[in-house]
Structure 1
Amino acid sequence: MRYTYLIALAWLGTSCISGKSPAEKTYKKKVKALQEQVSDKKSQLQALPWQDKMWAATTNLSIRKPNYVLIHHTAQNSTEQTIRTFQLERTAVSSHYVVGRDGKVVQMVNDYVRAHHAGLGKWGNDTDLNSSSIGIEMDNNGTTDPWPEVQIQALIELLKVLKERHKIPQKNFLGHADYAPNRKIDPYKFPWKQLAKEGFGCWYEEDLETPPGNFDPLLALRVIGYDISNPQNAIRAFKLHYIQDDNSELKDSDLPILYSIFKQYL
């Protein structure tokens, strides 16, 4: 019997990169293995501890969809180098999309398939954004590279499609450092304000308000979503995103900005 889920998973085998490269063959092999796992109801039933058990198919099901977009910088020297890195199985890393400095967009994993881009981290109570996000790698060495406007515009057009396709909330467009402040700083010096104006992520209001006397900065960071297990790293990640300042000290001038973002999450 054919079920909706199996038909949908079969569609996952379609890749946007044509040809018969070794990576393409491996991709198709792994997607086929996913299809077999979904259709293997017998072994799943056998693993259950109860003797009185059975399979009864339902018609009401769908593919699990992404609810976040996580933006990275590649820390490499070219789109081609990044693609090659993601095609080597030994690296165990990947991303759904790579956006080149020239505005070229390369898709490497289907939106509905789990890519290996987020790693260890936490946003709110979610400790596995690999399972709930789309990863986008921006071709940038992470130190001296600027962010060309053609690259940012290509990203914005991609985000428009993803936001509409998957109904992703505006607040759920994050940077890798937001999710993994204890490990990452990317994307570094990124134009988050420009993205927020287009509806991707939050930004602070122009007329900033002085926080009340009982305002707790760490609690505010936690409410926004940051992992505050290491407060200095959480502060640094926040400042990388909203203040473009690479340090872990909250100045008096930073507090109204934090308060403005905090209010958007209440």
Structure 2
Amino acid sequence: MGPESLQQPQPHKAKICMWKYLDVHSMDLINKAETTDDLKNLLSKLMNLQDFDSNPRSAILLDLYFYTIQFSREQGFSREQTSAFFSIVKDVHEACVETPLPNVEECYNYFTELVFCHSIRRPPFSINLFSQDQLVLITDYMINTYFRHYKLYKYAFTPQVRLDISFTYIGMPEPEPKDEDATAESTEAGVSPSQEETEEPEILPEESPTAVLREYIASQLNQELAQLRLSVEQRLKTTEDQFNTKLVQLEKGSGAGKGSAKGKKK
């Protein structure tokens, strides 16, 4: 994949997504699924993931959707809340994997906007579907599951980006014709390749006068590539450290919000 084909990270506008992927009939079927196998088979049909046995990406998505429903059941979400939370998880994942470039900040901002869009009554832009306590639980769940494994989802669902470098040097002699071209010319002249080999003595290839220059350029290029690789690794390390720091801050903020919510209940 070349740089020109890479899609840059883009911000997304949050909208009400209740019943977006799971309608009322689908939620009724999900509520009737009692065992793990029944629920997974049902989700694979609803989300077109029937090839999860042979396709690793389908298997990963099926696990993501399955545990989303399980979390909703554990928290006692209603049909409307489960459908909305499922849509939030799916939309955040699609925003994450739309580009192989880092976009964790855009995805997290999109997630927070989606959650608040379903927690504040301001029709027709938002609805108060989730309470403050549920808002804290949803945020903790997404941070500890999806965003903590953000790089794994990015690796599994986006193509790898590789850097290919080619150079053109001005003033360098043109490459000599290949053996196939020489054979074709001798055949057109009426001399077969076997006759040419017997008539002309074997000529050892002379060392090119630009061989030294090519070796020097190759050594310089290797040094530049090594420096470039080191720079990329340092940037990746810095980005990872920043991301881990943000996760710790978000976890602390979520814990503080949960503690304040419990204090209000008392």
TM range (shorter): under 0.3
Q: Which has the higher strand share?
A: 1
Flag the structure with larger Rg. Answer: 2
TM-score by length of 2: 0.23
Q: Which has the higher helix share?
A: 2
Return the TM-score normalized by structure 1.
0.23
